[in-house]
Amino acid sequence: MDYYVVDAFTSEIFCGNPAGVCVLENEIPAELMQKIAFENNLSETAFVCKKGERYKLRWFTPGFEIDLCGHATLATAYVITTFVEPEITQIEFETMSGVLKVEKKEKVYEMTFPNRPPKRIETTEKIVDALGLEPLELHSERDLYVIMKTEQEVKAFTPDYDKLKNLHNWLGIVITAPGTDADFVSRYFCPELRLEDPVTGSSHSSLIPMWQEKTGKSKFQAKQLSQRGGVLYCEAGKNEVKISGEAALYLKGSIAISEKW
């Protein structure tokens, strides 16, 4: 199968968030997808296969399948419009989270994702101990959203993954605050994988409505403050959010899988 590595939410390689993209002629078993994702050892590997007028899209971490991934969706859209069907500018993906639409606008890819407003929850001693800090607020959806006062506090956060793993009700831990040169900033930590994700599009399905409620704004420029860093252009809608960014190709090759894998 054709295989690509694309850096998402950036215009240059070695920045943003790298995703593997496997282009399939026919669907393959989930077990094989998981083995490939483990071998690739990227935060996400996307598997995409043409299905009528749409594409079927699935995302795998090295350890498990995930229900929604922004940067790997952007990377897949880049691969399709650059190498597979360069004549198209609009794509629909069938996914575990429903039909996701992506539109190419010159160099920017605008993704339409579900709006997932998080609910505010009480701050408990268990959460404070796991985080090692006292947050302004806590909000819960697929991930735990930890609101801090300043961007500097977000930058200064040091995860203790052994303690963060105790917060097993959530997939990831998101630390966020108003930005100094962005509307809001964030960092994303995955305790199960013991890593910080460089740029996490899916977390913005909840960050956007949360910050919309706090600021009254509907359009944002967001930054994720990982070592690689990334910029996301965001817009809130009633039932959906739009998350936009650029992409850069790092690798193009092929994966050789024998019949007896």
- Cα-flanking dihedrals φ and ψ of residue 70, to 5°? -75, -50
DSSP H stretches of helix in the chain: 30-40, 70-79, 125-131, 151-156, 161-164, 204-215
Per DSSP, the three-state class of 208 is helix
Report helix, strand and coil shares of the chain as percent, to nearest 5.
Answer: 20, 40, 40
Give the burial class of 258: count Cβ atoms within 10 A of its Cβ; 0-12 exposed, 13-18 middle, 19 or more buried: exposed
Compute the distance between CA of residue 138 and CA of residue 146 in angstroms, rounded to an integer: 5
**Which amino acids are annotated catalytic?**
44
